[in-house]
């Protein structure tokens, strides 16, 4: 299968995943052969008090996209999360490991996975973790961007130190997802940046790459007091595909690109 060269990115305002009629109108209109469902309610802490909103997007929305893809014979690539695991393992999770979501966000994403698999068994479900990267036009900043902003303003930067993840560069994930979409692979696959890191380690590396002075104060999960429970071990590995490049290398490239794009002082 070859992807269409004129790919189209649609916002949630243009085609909400909660609107099945809109999806059924958009897919034939754009002659969609492959659909990448990147939509997610990913405000992890807020989801604890907004369960209906989280399930509407992460579960019902995923179900709607799968229904539309099945109706119009489009290949579906659906994105999920490392949060579907409990984090109790002392090693990275692989695709065949038992799931055990802890909070509302995690449970809603797992429900989305199940609904996609039920409606579109040939769909590809990509679990990923700790995304960073993108441009400066987005309203919501990724974790490294928030760290830079806070440190640059002189703010006290407290970062959890007892949770591990795979920092994943969004551009690397996009390339990997496109490549996998052209294969016959279906089911669940883990696609993350190479290597695991504590959030505090990622924060310190970010400040180094951006040349920003600041001190990262490590704190425990219990000290931070977040509303939603999170897996202590959020690291993934894959038995189905090759690992992406190490996360420090990807972070370095992204930081260099962002610095080059910054407006020069007169």
Taking the domains of the chain in order of start, what are their residue ranges?
Answer: 20-258
Contact 160, 224 (CB under 8 A): yes
The top-level CATH class assigned to 20-258 is: alpha beta
Tell if the pTM clears 0.85, that is, is over it: yes
Of the candidates 41, 55, 93, 105, the residue annotated as catalytic is 105
Say whether 169 is catalytic: no
Walk along the chain (266 residues) and give the pLDDT tens digit of each residue.
Answer: 444 457 888 888 999 999 999 999 999 999 999 999 999 999 999 999 999 999 999 999 999 999 999 999 999 999 999 999 999 999 999 999 999 999 999 999 999 999 999 999 999 999 999 999 865 545 578 899 999 999 999 888 999 999 999 999 999 999 999 999 999 999 999 999 999 999 999 999 999 999 999 899 999 999 988 999 999 999 999 999 999 999 999 999 999 988 887 765 55
């Amino acid at each position: 299968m070859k992807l269409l060269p004129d790919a189209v990115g649609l916002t949630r305002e243009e085609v909400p995943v909660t609107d099945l009629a809109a999806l059924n109108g958009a897919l034939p209109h754009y002659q969609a052969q492959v659909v990448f469902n990147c939509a997610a309610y990913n405000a992890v802490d807020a989801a604890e008090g907004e369960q209906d909103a989280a399930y509407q997007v992460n579960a019902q929305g995923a179900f709607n996209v799968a229904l539309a893809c099945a109706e119009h014979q489009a290949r579906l690539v659906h994105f999920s999360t490392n949060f579907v695991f409990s984090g109790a393992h002392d090693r990275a999770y692989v695709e065949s490991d038992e799931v055990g979501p802890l909070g509302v966000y995690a449970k809603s994403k797992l429900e989305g996975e199940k609904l996609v698999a039920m409606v579109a068994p040939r769909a590809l479900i990509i679990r990923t973790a700790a995304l960073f990267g993108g441009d400066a036009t987005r309203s919501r900043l990724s974790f490294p961007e928030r760290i830079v902003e806070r440190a640059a303003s002189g703010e006290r930067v407290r970062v959890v130190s007892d949770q591990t993840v795979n920092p994943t560069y969004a551009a690397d994930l996009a390339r990997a997802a496109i490549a996998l979409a052209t294969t016959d692979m279906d089911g669940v696959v883990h696609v993350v940046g190479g290597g695991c890191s504590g959030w505090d380690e990622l924060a310190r590396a970010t400040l180094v790459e951006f040349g920003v002075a600041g001190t990262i104060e490590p704190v425990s999960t219990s000290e931070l007091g977040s509303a939603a429970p999170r897996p202590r071990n959020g690291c993934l590995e894959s038995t189905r595909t090759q690992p992406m490049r190490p996360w420090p290398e990807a972070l370095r490239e992204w930081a260099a690109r962002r610095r080059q794009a910054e407006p020069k002082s007169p």
